[in-house]
Amino acid sequence: MKRHIKSGLLTIGAIVFLTACGTSSIIMRHEIADRLSAPVWMTKRQIPVEPFSLTVYERMHERFAPANVYIEGDGLAWVSKKQISLNPTPKNPVALHLATKDKANNVVYLARPCQYSGLINKDTPCDSAYWTNKRFAPEVLKAYDAALNEIKHRYNIEGFHITGFSGGAAIAAILAAKRDDILSIRTVAGNLDHRAHSNYHNVSYLDGSLNPPEFSQKLANMPQYHFIGGQDKIVPPAILHSYLQKLGETNCVKYQLIQEAEHTEGWVEKWPELLSKTPTCQGAVKSVNLDFNIPEPIYVTREMPKGK
């Protein structure tokens, strides 16, 4: 009996310890974002966009001018191949790192749903579907649409240049297809075709999500520049290739392979140079094909848990 009680106490103690560690980890992730944004005068606030409260870091110095918007990647969506994270706040907020390197007068960073914050109703926990199969769901895009409207009206913004990192690239592309005030898009290690991405990694489809190729007709006329990492094993060049093939003939798409870059590494210090490359619609209209080799698929089985 004593042995059983002792075992139970150890179990409770372990749970408390793990919970405390998890809380500490989340606090540290918040502090990283605050410390990145403070030296470049980006102020944190929340934009309530039903049902989410989206976290924003922004530096807005010029009214009646465009704004450069950065959309974060998927963050800590999974802790292992089969275990969903309890909180998607990124350990390394790459899009925020990129935003801090942008010297424009108007710079906005938008986190993804449930990163750094939760829902408008604080008594309701975030549904993990919003960082798994519903990460690009219609209601997510509706929330970003409302957030851009709020920023536009608050600061009299004339248009947006949007940069999306990883999964944030899909958000950027779909927004560009749906709105008439997106001036250009840039993507960094962008997941621009999540069905091709799921096929590549042999994992479950994001059945609750919209996909940029569904909007190929409108996107073909959007100035866009895509940067992909030669060492990226998470979003390899094959994903961009799939997106480009579905886009068809266009003169609005440019891309560059950064040979030394991985998925989250090799971008930040190089960003000022890459940012200077302006997306434009120039030259002959033609199909865009990658002019380098595409690696073979990486098969990693990771099934979505039932009910998710």
Residue 10 placed within a domain: no
Residue 227 placed within a domain: yes
96: domain range? 41-287
Residue 200 placed within a domain: yes
Identify the residue with better confidence: 123 or 147: 147
Q: Tell me phi and psi for residue 19, to 5 degrees.
A: -65, -45
- DSSP track, 182-203: EEEEEEES----HHHHHHHHTB
Whole-angstrom Cα Rg for the chain:
20
pLDDT bin (cut points 50, 70, 90) of residue 299 is low
Residue 14 placed within a domain: no
Residue 190 placed within a domain: yes
208 contacts 129 by C-beta, under 8 angstroms = yes
What percentage of the chain carries pLDDT values higher than 90? 82
Of 208, 202, 205, 212, which is closest to residue 178 (Cα–Cα)?
212
Residue 2 placed within a domain: no
User: Which runs of consecutive H residues, i.e. helices, occur in the chain?
Assistant: 2-37, 94-100, 138-155, 167-178, 194-201, 216-219, 237-247, 271-275
- Cis, peptide link before residue 51, omega less than 30° from 0: yes
Instruction: Give pLDDT, residue 135.
Output: 97
- Predicted TM-score (pTM) of this structure: 0.89
Domain count, the chain: 1
pLDDT one-digit tens code per residue, 129-159: 999 999 999 999 999 999 999 999 999 999 9
Task: Specify the amino acid at residue 262.
Answer: E
Residue 261 has pLDDT above 60, yes or no: yes
Residue 212 placed within a domain: yes
Residue 103 placed within a domain: yes
- DSSP track, 44-92: EEEEEETTEEEEEEEEE--SSS-EEEEE----S-BSSSS-B-S----SS
pLDDT bin (cut points 50, 70, 90) of residue 296 is low
CATH of the domain at 201: 3.40.50.1820
Give the C-alpha separation, 176 to 171, whole Å: 9
Residues 6+ apart with CB under 8 A from 36: 93, 96, 97, 100
